Amino acid sequence: MPSKPALTPSSSRISTWLDPPTKFSMFRTTSELPATADLAIIGSGFSGASVAYHALKAYPALSIVMLEVGDVCEGESGRNGGHIRPDFYTYASQITAKYGSEEAARLNKFERDDFEAVKRLIKEDSVDCETVEDGESWQVFLTQEEFDEALREFTMMRDLGGDVHDIQVYMRNEAIGVTGIQGCFGAIVSPGSRISPTKLSHTKVLHVALNNCNDATQYSSGDCVSDYSELDEFEHLDMNALRIVPKKSSYVHKITTSRGTLLANKVVHATNAYIDTLLSISSNVRDTTKSPNGVVLVTPIRSHALEIASVGIRRKLSLDPSHNITNMNFNRGGEYLIQRPNGNFVLGGGRRFGNGNGIESFNNNTTAETEIDGSVDFYLSFFFPQILCFDNSHYLSPPKTVLGERDTNEAYSADYGIVKQWTGIMGFSVDEYPLVGKIPSFLEQGQEYCIAGFSGHGMPRIFLAAKALVRMILLEDDDYRYDCQYHSTVGPMHYRYIEGTIEVAENVQLPQCFAITEERLTKMISLAKRKE
């Protein structure tokens, strides 16, 4: 059973998305940690940044403190494969079996809506995130069995009423003609894009959030959260900036960091793989486990990626100029490939060849995040020329690796070279779906929320999941009152302020499979125990 990871700063190799650093690198808005906040957000990846963005877009008067143990967006958000690929159909049978056909169609719509929302976000200010407006995401199948399975899921989603109008199926000869991948048995093409996650999180999301904030909103990186507890007996603070006041005004959260203590009315845990470190969900569920530490509901899994120089490679992902292929994935998503605007390729995956299938081991409160798994490295290095069907002159034995400091600029001794190589820690929930929502009252007595466990598929889900979470925090919590009046327009999910500054857009329907409920947590713990 994996142990709980420690919230320690990452010293991993620098990913291509973190180089060069942005203005938010090791960013702090104050020299001293604020004493209080309406909302504390722990984690500065795409999830935490999106929560701050939506909260301050809705209510600029909110005082928010964002805490990060390392650098801004230094975790998995800054270490992924560089693509946003909505999944429109592969889960059709699984979701239908667990939640029903309507939920399968709802998840299809949610990922489509999220993708369109991110595209609008980028387009608003012409932010350069390396995205492509009308890009194609190609799921390339290297076995007939895998292709047949995907076709069944696609057909099922279509029959369930899911939106698959812009998804195209290419049989073997057609797929080979477009991609040049001789070993493929077919392909399914859907909307998608390459994307620089840090440019999105830094340049757009955090930038807008800070521009919308007031002087009471702060960001602090490099703060190791050493203790987290509820302060049951605390006189409510009379802060001018406070806009959300708990009815139980004697209750706040106490967060102890390396720079001091912060008192917050509400807390959002946006630490993904590290969610069990501060928020011991499983160990608090009554009568479900004999383990003193509970079971781990979100397992840390190490990902690998590398950037490959385009020197000497006259090859694009698409051999057909009528197709704008921005990313490909293979082996049921086990490997994924993009081509950057400079021509370089980014390849990720291979974790099934790693130690324990990539399940990360955390010992003595340290992470193994800095290590490159040799088996995964070897596999990825040779998968690249094989999948793009280079001839023997393109093989390197072993592949040339150009690593080291940021200013390394060695000449390549062969047709391609590995420019950068990095790892990250993904958070896989035991039922493979994110945990988004308020922590149930039977687990804790405060106002804690969670957005984590995206299981390697966060980019097309996080932005609107964060928006839905902000709605729960600001609009739907019966334990809180507001200094603005509101009325219901349609139902419990549709609130609109009459006074004040909150703007409420269209309703965001969070998929049921994302919701945090006692029933789901109990099932997750039972599943986790069976997997031990």
Cα–Cα distances in angstroms (integers) from residue 23 to residues 95, 206, 405, in the given order? 41, 11, 20
DSSP one-letter string for 146-171: HHHHHHHHHHHHHHTT---TT-EEEE
Q: pTM of whole model > 0.75?
A: yes
pLDDT digits (tens, 9 = 90+) for 407-440: 333 333 334 678 888 888 899 999 999 999 988 7
pLDDT digits (tens, 9 = 90+) for 50-85: 998 888 888 777 888 888 776 666 777 778 889 999
- Identify the pLDDT of residue 495: 33
Tokens 């994302």 sit on residue: 514
Per-residue pLDDT for 92 more than 60? yes
| 408 touches 419 (CB < 8 A) | no
Beta-carbon contacts of residue 42 (< 8 Å; ≥ 6 apart):
48, 66, 67, 225, 255, 267, 268, 269, 270, 271, 278
Both tokens assigned to 436: 């988004």
Name, of 143-147, 245-249, 469-473, the range with top average pLDDT. Answer: 143-147
Q: How confident is the model at residue 444 (pLDDT cuts 50, 70, 90)?
A: low
Cα–Cα distances in angstroms (integers) from residue 434 to residues 127, 145, 505, in the given order? 28, 28, 23
Burial class (CB in 10 A: 0-12, 13-18, 19+), 307: buried
More confident residue, 76 or 489: 76
Name, of 283-287, 289-293, 506-510, the range with top average pLDDT. Answer: 506-510
Sign of CA dihedral 146, 151, 157, 162: positive
Report the 10 Å Cβ neighbour count for 441: 10
| Three-class DSSP category at 51 | helix
Mean pLDDT (the chain) is 74
Cα–Cα distances in angstroms (integers) from residue 38 to residues 268, 282, 337, 447, 449, in the given order? 11, 27, 41, 11, 13
Beta-carbon contacts of residue 386 (< 8 Å; ≥ 6 apart):
none
Which domains, and CATH codes, for the chain?
Answer: 27-79+199-296+431-531 (3.50.50.60), 134-194+299-429 (3.30.9.10)
